[in-house]
Amino acid sequence: MTKIRDINILELGEENESSSPWSSTIIVLKMVTSDGEVGYGEAPTTLMTRPVYEQMREVGRQFQGRDVEEIKMNYLDFYRNSFYLPVSMESTAALSAFEIASWDIVGKEYGAPIYSLLGGKIRERVKTYANGWYSDCVLPEHFVAKAKEIERMGFTAAKFDPFGSSFDHIDRDGIERAREIIKTLKEEADLDLLIECHGRFDANSAIQVMNRIRDMDPFFVEEPVHPDQFSGLVRLRESTDVKIALGERVLNKNLFLPYLTANLVDVIQPDVTNVGGILQGRESASLAESFGVEVAYHNAFGPIQTAATLQLDLNIPNFLIQESFEKFWPKWKKNLVKSGYKLEDGYFTASGKPGLGIEVNENVLDEFATDKMEPLDRKEPPWVVKGTFKKG
């Protein structure tokens, strides 16, 4: 067995970066074993950068000196010790980074990509949808102009939030503005349209929205109801047959079960950087498969997350589509990984190299190291695409 020797936790970001706050920083884990093998993990932030960073130090205390190959045992040992797991995003995010880095090392030890250790790949490439493309879009013509740009990039599907500054409640004017954006895109762009609600509505508003956009045949509608209003989601489900997706805030495979048994979701969206890592991401997909539910992993942060997620996209049978922000990242984030996967004509392909299959640019780790919190804009929540939280 190979021991975990060195643990290096790095926050990365750029001063005065113009991207949305949830994307302005990432946390990278560099883990080194006693025989010098290096593995990388990533943890998400979303106005939680410093809390997640500190929790990674806590996880590091428990992983230090452990056998890196004992991925499940190390995971369960932290689960035993962490009192608020799995309902603490700080804990699940920190643990996910260590789990992913462990898989990266084990794959390198065996000379195989992670998907091969999970049973092999069942597809050669991964269909994506664009996200992050609609910054500063408010009016229908704004969305159409940028939609044309992503079509030229080769994307055939796009996700977007057309609801402006509405939160909790949306009035008739807000619904009609959103409908007009969706209708215009449907008429003028050749894209599958995925509608993002960001978990912002109460059930009454979500029902009104769904009834008004149902005839547009959206690919799916994501998080239409506040994530803590389970009964509201039940009411919504009883009122619509629009395909519902959710899961980026579900922090453990077991927590997907109530949604599946109650038939409340058509597409689950685990995030491998906060659900517990690759095994939890894989087991969540297996659970969904038993219910005939598809998987579209959440993937909004950085390239190490993408590399980890692709290992599952290539492996699971109930894969639907993969989220991608890659084309809209700041330059430093694009340069963090030198090689490992490609995004061309709306599809990801993986390198097939061992572990995560990536080569990390150490110069970026040095140049963009920071210890700052994400920027805070009091006029715009951190979870929206920048410049969109306003009325048209």
Tokens of 230: 């389970």
Task: Report helix, strand and coil shares of the chain as percent, to nearest 5.
Answer: 40, 20, 40
Cβ atoms within 10 A of the Cβ of 36, count?
Answer: 9
How does pLDDT run across 1-12, given as a tens digit for each residue?
Answer: 899 999 999 999
Q: What is the DSSP letter of 326?
A: G
The pLDDT of residue 135 is above 70? yes
The strand pairing partners of 282, in sequence order, are: none
Helix, coil or strand: residue 184:
helix
- What mean pLDDT comes out for the span 182-206? 98
For 1, 36, 100, 363, the CA distances from 71, given in Å and listed in that order, are 12, 18, 9, 29
Tokens linked to 12: 């990365």
CA distance 246 to 256: 10
Residue 194 bridge partners (DSSP) = 159, 220
Tokens of 31: 């883990």
List, by residue range, all CATH 3.20.20.120 domains of the chain: 116-355
pLDDT of residue 5: 98
pLDDT category of residue 19 using cuts at 50, 70 and 90? low
**Is residue 298 among the annotated active site residues?**
yes
CATH of domain 116-355: 3.20.20.120
Q: How far apart are CA 91 and CA 255, in angstroms?
A: 15
The pLDDT score that the predictor gives to residue 182 is 98
- For the cut 90, the answer to whether the pLDDT of residue 366 exceeds it is yes
pLDDT, one tens digit per residue, over 84-101 is: 999 999 999 999 999 999
Find the catalytic residue in 142, 169, 198, 226: 198
d(CA 318, CA 285): 7
CA triple 148-152-154, angle to 5 deg: 120
Yes or no: say if 301 and 26 are a contact pair by the CB < 8 Å rule: yes
Give the dihedral sign, CA 310/312/313/315: positive
Banded pLDDT at 373 (limits 50, 70, 90): confident
Mean pLDDT of 187-211: 98
**Which residues fall within 8 angstroms of residue 217, CB to CB, at 6 or more apart?**
none
Residue spans in the chain of domains classed CATH 3.30.390.10: 4-112
What average pLDDT does range 333-362 have in this prediction?
A: 97
**pLDDT tens profile 307-332:** 999 999 999 999 999 999 999 999 99
pLDDT of residue 78: 96
Output the average pLDDT for the chain: 96
Residue 22 has pLDDT above 90, yes or no: no
Catalytic residue among 142, 169, 226, 298: 298
Contacts of 152 (CB under 8 A, 6+ apart): none
DSSP per-residue string spanning 235-287: HHHHH--S-EEE-TT--SGGGGHHHHHTT--SEE---TTTTTSHHHHHHHHHH
The pLDDT-based confidence of 170 (bands split at 50, 70, 90) is very high
* Alpha-helix runs per DSSP H in the chain: 21-24, 49-63, 71-81, 89-110, 114-117, 140-152, 172-188, 203-213, 230-239, 257-261, 278-290, 303-313, 331-334, 362-367
Res 21 pLDDT > 80: no
Name the residue among 225, 266, 279 with its Cα closest to residue 249: 225
Contact 160, 143 (CB under 8 A): yes
Alpha carbons 392 and 376: distance in angstroms, whole number: 23
337-346 average pLDDT score: 96
**Residues near 235 by beta carbon (within 8 Å), at least 6 away in sequence:** 203, 207
Taking only the tens place, the pLDDT of each residue in 235-277 is: 999 999 999 999 999 999 999 999 999 999 999 999 999 999 9
Report the top-level CATH class of 4-112.
alpha beta
pLDDT given at position 17: 73
Q: Give yes or no for a contact between 251 and 275, defined as CB atoms under 8 angstroms apart.
A: yes
CA-to-CA separations, 190 to 141, 182, 196, 213, 330, in angstroms, rounded: 15, 12, 18, 18, 27
Confidence of residue 225 (pLDDT cuts 50, 70, 90): very high
- The amino acid at residue 162 is P
